[in-house]
Amino acid sequence: MMLASRILYEDNHLILVNKIPGEIVQGDKTGDEPLSETVKKYIKEKYNKPGNVFHGVVHRLDRPVSGIVIFAKTGKALARLNEMLQKREIRKVYWAVVASSQFAVRSSQSSKHEITGNWELGTGNSIHLVHYLKRNEEKNRSFVYDAPGPGRVKAELIYRIAGISNRYQLFEVELLTGRHHQIRAQLAAIGFPIRGDLKYGYPRSNPDGSISLHAHEVEFVHPVKGETVRIICPPLSEKIWAVFNKK
């Protein structure tokens, strides 16, 4: 799919792109062209820029994940966005499809829940989930613990049930920290591995190798203009999203 059709926002400082499942954001050992390089070529061709083109990767999404990726077109914007990430000033909301259950929450020994309001399906009430994650580089996965320890980092997110069908639930997840495989690991730890995510315990893969996790919304103050930027990004593919009649 052409990059131009997937651009969600662009000005002289930023470019936000709807990543499709299977794309890598930055180069890796596979040698496949990363989205960052595709963006670089797009900028160079569109604006007829000679020489090297600056493009900074603000954050990444895992290869099987889809949705919003932010790139900076200037060093000034990149530095300020990196600072905003550190200060948790960029709001990031994801959609995750998990197997349906008769229970809204499954507790486990490796999780802590802070329940807001009276929990009911279909309401705006949310759950604050806290774990400690330890990344295993060799296995490329994060392991979940309920207490601090050597090599463990605190991971926090808020989620709520945004939709439910006979077979699946749609979770809306807001990240409060940005850890390796955080949403995938934390949801699996409470009994809700993401659809298609074999690495974290879902029993079947998706036909296209994706997992049903989508970076749906970002909101932040523009690093140069000072105005609020809020982008909502619908999934490009996978019929599963239509089950919940989301737009």
- pLDDT at residue 126 greater than cutoff 70: yes
pLDDT band, very low/low/confident/very high, at 238 (cuts 50, 70, 90):
low
Which residue in this structure is represented by tokens 């309401």?
123
Collapsed DSSP state (helix, strand, coil) of residue 5: helix
Contact 184, 97 (CB under 8 A): no
pLDDT confidence band for 180 (50 / 70 / 90): very high
**How confident is the model over 10-58, as pLDDT tens digits?**
999 999 999 999 999 987 777 789 999 999 999 998 888 877 888 899 9
Banded pLDDT at 115 (limits 50, 70, 90): very low
* pLDDT tens for each residue of 129-147: 999 999 999 999 999 999 9
Torsion sign across C-alpha atoms 85, 87, 89, 93: positive
DSSP string, 43-101: HHHHTT--S----EE-----TT-EEEEEEESSHHHHHHHHHHHHTT-SEEEEEEEEE--
- Ordered domains of the chain (ranges, CATH): 3-90 (3.30.2350.10)
What is the C-alpha separation between 173 and 165, in angstroms, rounded? 18
